């Protein structure tokens, strides 16, 4: 094979690779749009009247995740199944965003932490790496850390809306989350940096709870929590 023939073959391989990346990019753009629609919907819970419509907003978000599953099915067909990590960077950000949104919906519904397996089911992908297109553990953890920041914001807005018991429940949840992350030996620099931000979320929520205590509203909140139980 001549030098020109060798480089012609290389160009062909590069062209095929570029075609795959372009097809992936199109689907990822559609996923990003759906993620924005879900986020816009859920942001309504931060407003006063939004607390009254949480079940309805969660139900609507669940419907949007149906679109996500369809788009994920399309994404799976755009590249060879054994080359997941070769193209992973193309969808990593939007996948982490979708993990956060799924976790936020589950928290709003039940005030519990969604499992990686449950998120994978919501998104229509696998939890097990050996079964193909899957939810990477680090992507799951990154999405959960974004949830922590969102809940810190929700704690502040809950007080504004006159819901004094919610910040106490959020505080308990975030502290349990922080304890869980402390059990992990994080090697990934990006994930480790994001985890370092969790302490600020914990501090922010603690300040909200402390303010409620100073104002004497924590007693009312505690009574409310007891009543709910």
Determine the average pLDDT of the residues in 42-68: 90
Element holding 77 (H helix, E strand): none
Judge contact between 35 and 78, C-beta under 8 A. Answer: no
What pTM was estimated for this model as a whole?
Answer: 0.89
Element holding 91 (H helix, E strand): helix 84-110
Element holding 35 (H helix, E strand): helix 3-42
Determine the average pLDDT of the residues in 37-65: 91
Q: Where are the domains of the chain?
A: 1-135, 136-218
Task: Say if residue 150 carries a ligand binding annotation.
Answer: yes
SS3 163: coil
How distant, in Å, are the alpha carbons of 41, 101, 136, 167, 168 from that of 95? Answer: 18, 10, 9, 28, 30
pLDDT digits (tens, 9 = 90+) for 70-115: 999 999 999 988 899 999 999 999 999 999 999 999 999 999 999 9
Please calculate the CA angle 125-127-130 and round it to the nearest 5 degrees. 100
The residues pairing with 126 across neighbouring beta strands, listed in sequence order, are 134
Q: Which fold would CATH assign to domain 136-218?
A: Methane Monooxygenase Hydroxylase; Chain G, domain 1 (1.20.58)
Kindly state the tokens that stand for 135. 């939810």
Determine the average pLDDT of the residues in 144-156: 95
Does the pLDDT at position 56 exceed 80?
Answer: yes
Q: Which CATH number fits domain 1-135: 3.10.105.10, 1.20.58.190, 3.90.1150.10, 2.60.120.380?
A: 1.20.58.190
Lowest pLDDT segment from 35-44, 47-56, 73-82: 47-56
Q: Rounded distance, CA 5 to CA 8, Å? A: 5
């Amino acid at each position: 094979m001549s030098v020109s023939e060798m480089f012609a073959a290389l160009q062909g391989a590069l062209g095929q690779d570029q075609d795959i990346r372009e097809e992936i990019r199109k689907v990822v753009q559609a996923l990003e749009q759906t993620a924005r629609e879900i986020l816009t919907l859920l942001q309504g819970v931060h407003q006063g009247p939004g607390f009254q419509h949480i079940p309805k907003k969660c139900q609507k978000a669940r419907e949007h995740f149906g679109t996500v599953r369809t788009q994920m099915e399309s994404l799976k067909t755009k590249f060879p199944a054994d080359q997941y990590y070769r193209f992973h960077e193309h969808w990593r950000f939007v996948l982490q965003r979708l993990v956060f949104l799924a976790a936020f919906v589950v928290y709003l519904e039940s005030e519990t932490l969604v499992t990686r397996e449950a998120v994978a089911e919501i998104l229509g992908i696998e939890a097990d790496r050996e079964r193909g297109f899957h939810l990477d553990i680090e992507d799951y953890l990154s999405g959960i850390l974004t949830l922590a920041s969102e809940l810190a914001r929700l704690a502040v807005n809950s007080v504004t809306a006159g819901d004094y018991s919610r910040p106490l429940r959020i505080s308990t949840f975030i502290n349990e989350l922080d304890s869980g992350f402390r059990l992990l030996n994080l090697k990934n620099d990006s994930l480790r940096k994001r985890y370092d931000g969790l302490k600020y979320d914990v501090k922010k929520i603690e300040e909200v709870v402390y303010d409620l205590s100073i104002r004497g509203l924590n007693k009312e909140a505690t009574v409310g929590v007891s009543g709910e139980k």
